[in-house]
C-alpha cells in the first residue's frame, strides 16, 4: 500500500514538473516580452538617476561662495569636555 501511494505521488510530481517545463511558445513569448519591458523600465530609471547624479544639466554658478566672504564667518570650536566615565555612572 505504501509503495502504491509513493508511486502515485512520484508520478504525479513528475507529470506536473514535465507540464511546467513544457510551456507553450505563446506563453514563453509573453513572459519574455514582460521581462524585457520590466528591464527597459529599470534602464530608463537608471538613466534618469545617472543624469541627476552627474549634474551636467544643472547650473550651480549662482550658489558659488566668494572666498572673501568666508573671513566674516565665525569658526565654531568643538566642545571637547566629553568624559566617557559619565556614560557608565549609575548615580546620574
User: Where are the domains positioned within the chain?
Assistant: 23-54
Which pTM value belongs to this model? 0.38
| Phi-psi map region of 35: left, alpha, beta (phi>0 left; psi -120 to 50 alpha) | alpha
Reported as a single tens digit per residue, the pLDDT across 38-91 is: 999 999 999 888 887 887 777 778 888 888 888 888 888 877 777 777 777 777
Amino acid at each position: 500500500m505504501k509503495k502504491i501511494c509513493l508511486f502515485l505521488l512520484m508520478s504525479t510530481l513528475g507529470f506536473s514538473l514535465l507540464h511546467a517545463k513544457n510551456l507553450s511558445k505563446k506563453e514563453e513569448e509573453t513572459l519574455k516580452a514582460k521581462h524585457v519591458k520590466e528591464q527597459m523600465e529599470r534602464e530608463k530609471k537608471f538613466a534618469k538617476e545617472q543624469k541627476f547624479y552627474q549634474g551636467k544639466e544643472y547650473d550651480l554658478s549662482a550658489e558659488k561662495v566668494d572666498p572673501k566672504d568666508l573671513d566674516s564667518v565665525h569658526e565654531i570650536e568643538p566642545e571637547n569636555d566629553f568624559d566617557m566615565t559619565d556614560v557608565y555612572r549609575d548615580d546620574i
